[in-house]
Amino acid sequence: MELSDRKQKILQAIIDDYIDTAEPVGSRAISKKNELGLSSATIRNEMADLEDMGYLIQPHTSAGRIPSDVGYRFYVNSLMRRYQMSVETVEKLQEILTERVSQLETVIKKASLIASTLTEYTTVVTSPRLNSAVIKKIELVNLGLGNVMVVVITGTGIIKNQTVAIDVDDSTAARLTEVLNSRIAGLTAESLTLDKVKAIGDEIDGIVDAKTLINILNFVYEAIDSLDQTDVYVNNAQSILSYPEFSDVNKAKEMLTFLENKDKMIKLIGSPKDDVDVKIGAENEFAELSNSSLVAVNYKMGNRVVGRIGVIGPKRMDYAKVIASLDCISNNVDKILGQLYNSEGEG
């Protein structure tokens, strides 16, 4: 059954008010706060109809109504007003994101922090899956005492390092660095074939033994191959404690424990879907989110979707502001990662 224009306006007014107050909304409050030109009695009758239709819930007999999951869904799909971010906010966001962006991981962590600051909700960001990441540079740093640090730098600025037991002097470490870069720079993990390993071995024969070379190359391979593994960053988890929906200590503890579970967070954000994905209450697959909503957007590197940025908050979250904030952040992240992607391709 379609909602009449009057019912839609009343539903919108109730949800807008409930988002602001977290208190059940009565007919008198709606008639006072909104210029609907309707009496309290008329609004009360329409609210009763909306409850019968499943859009509203009356938590207590004497209380006003609150939106149901169905009500929120209709609101997000059809009633929500567009939120306009200020020019100052957008410019500040761009400034923070673009400051020292040589490392991809830094960009993603910044995006997570900015999202939680703008929305005041918990944010969950997945790191990019970069199984085709290119090795830009390898450095061997002699630490002395029979140890060398192997540093791998990708075209996107991700740095991996590990200490390997090799007893060499500075000149030998420099020679190894030179050979490895000449043979490996520009390759992906998949391109590091046995033939290439053998060619490196032939060139450095007499500098280090085969076992040492294999240890170094194993680390290089693992460092690049690990970029295919999704990581997740959670920011501002404690924000849930400030919302009345989580005033119950047990509910708060359950939610905080849920947010600490990396596997669940990765599954929650999931694979890239629509540009904006909104899941309300029971629409989420985890019971811990029955009183919460998730809004998630994709971000890209070049033309390829590589990760997701999500916001978790109470079902009465300010959806318009959250969606506008995430859209702005993801667009800026796309531009930055596009630049890094191009620099990797050129490298």
Q: Give me the DSSP letters along 37-98.
A: ---HHHHHHHHHHHHHTTSEE-SSTTS-BEE-HHHHHHIIIIIPPPP---HHHHHHHHHHHH
Position 1 scores a pLDDT of 64
Model confidence pTM above 0.85 = no
The highest-confidence range among 30-34, 229-233, 277-281, by mean pLDDT, is 277-281
What is the distance between the alpha carbons of residues 235 and 121, in angstroms, rounded to a whole number? 9
* Overall average pLDDT of the 189-196 stretch: 74
Asked whether residue 346 carries a pLDDT value surpassing 60, the answer given is: no
What is the distance between the alpha carbons of residues 211 and 182, in angstroms, rounded to a whole number? 20
* Overall average pLDDT of the 8-23 stretch: 93
* Overall average pLDDT of the 52-68 stretch: 89
What is the distance between the alpha carbons of residues 47 and 57, in angstroms, rounded to a whole number? 10
Position 271 scores a pLDDT of 64
Position 339 scores a pLDDT of 74
The highest-confidence range among 103-107, 127-131, 159-163, 271-275, by mean pLDDT, is 159-163
* Overall average pLDDT of the 233-243 stretch: 91
Position 345 scores a pLDDT of 47
pLDDT digits (tens, 9 = 90+) for 107-130: 888 889 999 999 999 999 987 765
Asked whether residue 167 carries a pLDDT value surpassing 60, the answer given is: yes
Asked whether residue 275 carries a pLDDT value surpassing 90, the answer given is: no
Q: CA dihedral in degrees (280, 283, 286, 291; nearest 10)?
A: 40
Alpha carbon 181 to chain centroid, angstroms = 34
Contact call for residues 284 and 270 (beta carbons, < 8 A): no
* Overall average pLDDT of the 187-215 stretch: 78
Which amino acid does the sequence have at 52? D
Q: Which of 55, 64, 80, 77 is nearest to 3 (CA)?
A: 55
What is the distance between the alpha carbons of residues 239 and 94, in angstroms, rounded to a whole number? 24
